[in-house]
Chains A and B, each alone.
Chain A
């Protein structure tokens, strides 16, 4: 039996390792055009800023793959021949398979802005993008970043570290308010401004303007302002990378359509991670998850299914974390930017604006927690949400969740006082 995996991101790797655990004798081949070995995509920024070398971003020693007999192929798949059970490769011999996992990740969104293909205009997703950024920053003094999400702020930090003046265009009234409640969002606005980044809220990109040589010269905003720049970062989100699957006749929607065991409509072809769209029957939209841990969990389950187990994916209770320059953020459960009917928000912010916590209850039961500038325990917060704890219970046990380093100033007493006041 021979399993081929397209993509060596966290999803592909989790699948490969779980297949190997269950099927010691199967052949496994993992293909990627981007890199020879698996590396951590979230660490791209640290390479550019000089915190780490490229080799430090590889989560496993190179010898792991040989030891686990996972064959690595460096190359691009140009077509999936599902009927003929083989992958057509760019400038390489075809790779045959009995079962296939497509884990091709995401690609940066482009919304058809005028000038989006000019030189100096780019997204940030892959090592190729990083390489391109090396080219694009040559001689650059100022940059414009379009789109206020997680990758946008990372790119801002990267360019800022090279002394490039950054103008950050955010369409919403405040940074990332399509996800974050306004208070947290404003904490981040402050952080961005404090770094000397020119944050433009409620500002949209209208047009990217080039010079005669086809390189970007500046952008025009919806307010008809011209901002001069030599680099434009387009970071208005990512979407599932479905081009290959779609062209090969595998059924796609926004992502590659799969069931809860990651089977596509095509026999023996599976898809998981950023590129997959899990069909959700009944209410609700199909599920697309595009973060690291979901890729890891989806890949693991997909691997088990491919290896012959009856596994079904359980997305569990949502969590995530990020860092905005020096401000850390963690979220557990459901915290909406704007509360819906039946939800109550309790919020505490440290007078220095460096720390905050939000506890959300729905019908009296805690359903979500946000912390900024504090570290809270995943296990503890998750258990509160899973066990449907009351606000009182959570406040009584708040100290258990603190995960800050030793000797840090503990704010729990203040938090509890303030939130009890709000709840009264």
Chain B
């Protein structure tokens, strides 16, 4: 053996491969600097106005903050990507603190988490910011802004700002562009404008893009009776809409398109994950252990919400004689632990630590329902291009749902997994063109390999 190689022995597992040295970066262009300055101005305005400086609380104040924030960031992303050749741009992802759980990543995680804690339990700390969006709230919903309006506004803004980033990053990929436009549309229209306008016209605040079991209250007896009794008849329509979406549209659309029709095209949680969450998508845990945890958790949440709903109905049918106390406390418990802590604090707050789809993967009962359909009764699958896979691992690394895509691709098998949200990024990053998302002709030909659903189910039970 060559002596040189023997001398060069090292332990790649413990040593790892940190960042190699880099020649100096090109300095930021004038346009980029200017964009950042504009953004900085917006943030400064926000800080000053939330401390009570004029013109906080007026339209002028609102525009002085959010125009610079939006255009500054959007132009920065635009210019940043414009200087590159269209294609997958993942250089340095594992070297940057923000995207590799470094100090900056943790810092952002703490700030996000802190924001959610304030939002749920100490909204008074957000008073300054809430005041700034007040004019918009008055115009849209006719009532003064509260913490939820503030949150909804920031959420939509984030989807739009980072939506611009997605457009630029994936300007070579029409699937990604159309999908991003879709989540932006549904966030703005269905999850922000319509609910607020409904309130303006004295109608119940209703999110047309959320259904039971993600919004469990839409099938709770209390909500239904409130809607039924609501003057104007729109309440009836909303009940009808909710029921149709849950019981008819969900199975039907999932049969034809897979769960992606919802999770990565419509849903607001998905919308944020696919835009602001994109820089963190690779942080999802790919281990088999995480997969096992995921299946247990997400299905437990589903069972929980089904039981709660049933109990509430029994309770309401028996006028509280049966399960009265229990069903109410279950409902509260769900709202606090699942609604607030899981979907908010952990779901978004932990983006820079656990990846962008923690809630969607481990907690969302809607994802669980869609997943069951997708796994057993859908035409959707990701097909593998023959034996072209060279096991590089890009697909698994960038799967936000933590699916080990490579494990299937390197065996030449289709990927038919309950959790796949159909974001299409695995197919986009594959350097060998191996993966393709498809709605095949039937659902019978989906299982190309060892991964037959029944066998897999029995297998997974064995692991318990």
Query: Could you tell me which A residues sit within 8 Å of B by CB distance?
Result: 10, 33, 35-37, 40, 42-43, 46-61, 76-78, 90, 127-128, 130-134, 137-141, 161-165, 191, 194-195, 243-244, 292-293, 296, 319, 321-323, 325-326, 328, 330, 375, 377-379, 382, 403-409
Contact = CB atoms under 8 A, between A and B. Distances in A.
Contacts of B33: none
Contacts of B26: 163
Contact of B433 (A57, A77, A296, A321): A321
A109 B88 CA distance: 31
B380 to A, nearest CB: 11
B230 interface: no
Given A195-B85, A319-B388, A405 B95 contact: no
B1 A90 contact: yes
A54 B12 contact: yes
Interface stretch (B116-124, B322-330, B392-400, B413-421): B392-400
B87 A405 contact: no
Contacts of B178: 407
Nearest to A132: B8
5 contacts: A134-B17, A243-B1, A319-B386, A319-B387, A326-B85
Contact of A59 (B25, B173, B391): B391
Given A50-B94, A78-B1, A195-B85, A377 B23 contact: no
Contacts of A51: 90-91, 93-94, 394, 397
Given A51-B94, A90-B6, A42 B24 contact: no
B392 A57 contact: yes
A166 to B, nearest CB: 11
Contacts of A134: 17, 20-21
Interface in B409-457: 410, 424, 427-428, 431-433, 436-438
B436 A405 contact: yes
A134 B394 CA distance: 22
A50 B5 contact: no
Interface string B8-35: 1111110011011111111000000000
Best-surrounded residue of B13, B392, B424 (most CB of chain A within 10 A): B392
Given A51-B90, A56-B397, A378-B387, A138 B431 contact: no
Contacts of B11: 36
Contact of B93 (A50, A57, A326): A50
B93 to A, nearest CB: 5
Interface in B354-407: 385-388, 390-394, 396-397, 406-407
A48 B172 contact: no
B462 interface: no
B292 interface: no
A61 B12 contact: no
Given A50-B92, A51-B90, A405-B428, A36 B13 contact: yes
Nearest to B396: A56
A162 B393 contact: no
B287 interface: yes
Given A33-B6, A407-B178, 14 more contacts: A33-B5, A36-B11, A40-B392, A43-B391, A46-B90, A47-B17, A50-B19, A55-B13, A77-B1, A163-B23, A326-B87, A328-B433, A403-B433, A405-B173
Contacts of A36: 11-13
B388 A76 contact: no
Contact of B22 (A40, A58, A163): A163
Contacts of B172: 326
Contact of B175 (A164, A328, A378, A408): A408
A346 B394 CA distance: 34
Given A50-B93, A57-B392, A408-B174, A378 B385 contact: yes
A23 to B, nearest CB: 20
A32 B170 CA distance: 40
Interface in B167-196: 172-175, 178
A127 B12 CA distance: 8
Nearest to B9: A33
Contacts of A323: 431-432
A382 B386 contact: yes
Interface residues of B, number: 62
B85 A194 contact: yes
B393 A59 contact: yes
Interface in B48-96: 85-88, 90-96
Given A323-B432, A375-B433, A243 B2 contact: yes
A161 B2 contact: no
B288 interface: yes
- Give the most central of A61, A138, A328, A403: most B CB within 10 Å: A403
A164 B20 CA distance: 12
A138 B18 CA distance: 13
B293 to A, nearest CB: 15
Contacts of B20: 48, 133-134, 137, 162
A404 B427 CA distance: 9
B172 to A, nearest CB: 7
B16 A54 contact: yes
Nearest to B288: A61
Given A48-B20, A328-B431, A59 B410 contact: yes
Given A50-B91, A194-B85, A163 B24 contact: yes
B166 to A, nearest CB: 15
A406 B437 contact: yes
B375 to A, nearest CB: 21
A50 B175 CA distance: 25
Contacts of A37: 13
A133 B1 CA distance: 21
A60 B288 CA distance: 11
Given A141-B23, A325-B87, A131 B8 contact: yes
Contacts of A293: 387-388, 390
A405 B16 contact: no
Nearest to B86: A326
Nearest to A374: B433
B391 A292 contact: yes
Contacts of B387: 293, 296, 319, 378
Contact of A406 (B175, B288, B393, B396): B175
Contacts of A405: 173-175, 424, 427-428, 436-437
A54 B96 CA distance: 16
Given A43-B393, A140-B23, A321 B410 contact: no
A133 B19 CA distance: 12
B92 A76 contact: no
Contacts of A128: 5, 8, 10
Contact of B385 (A292, A325, A377): A377
Contact of A378 (B386, B397, B424): B386
